[in-house]
Every structure is written in structure tokens, then in C-alpha cells.
Amino acid sequence: MSKVVKYPVLKDFLVWKDTKELGVGMASNGKKAYVVGHYRPAGNIANEVYFQKNKLHNFFPKIG
């Protein structure tokens, strides 16, 4: 596979305070790879106050 696709929303789930479990699966048909993730409890709620309360600050260092 030569193409890398990045989905920045995944980072939010990985740094979500309430996330306690993560399940990841992958399948490939030889041309494409499919990766799925299941987070429990669900997070990244579309509510700015809740988002600010539950994200972990400074999880990733700034580059540059």
C-alpha cells in the first residue's frame, strides 16, 4: 500500500480522559487495508464544554 490516509479525529479519542478500553481490528484485501477502532465509553462529544473537560492537555508535544 502506497497511500497513507490520516484521520486527526482519532487523536482525540486516544487522549479522551473517559476512554478506558480500546479495541482495534484490521482487514486487508491485498489492495486496501481497513482499520477500525472501538472506544469505550464513547467520547469526543460535540459539546465544547464537555470536550474541554474531558480532553487530556499536553498529551502530544508541539513540534516546530
Per-residue pLDDT reduced to its tens digit, 16-37: 777 788 888 999 998 888 888 8
Instruction: Count other C-beta atoms under 10 Å from residue 10's C-beta.
Output: 13
Residues 20/39, Cβ–Cβ less than 8 Å: no
Choose the weakest-confidence range: 9-13, 25-29, 43-47.
Answer: 9-13
**Distance separating alpha carbons of residues 4 and 21, to the nearest angstrom:** 26
The model carries a pTM of: 0.46
**Distance separating alpha carbons of residues 19 and 13, to the nearest angstrom:** 7
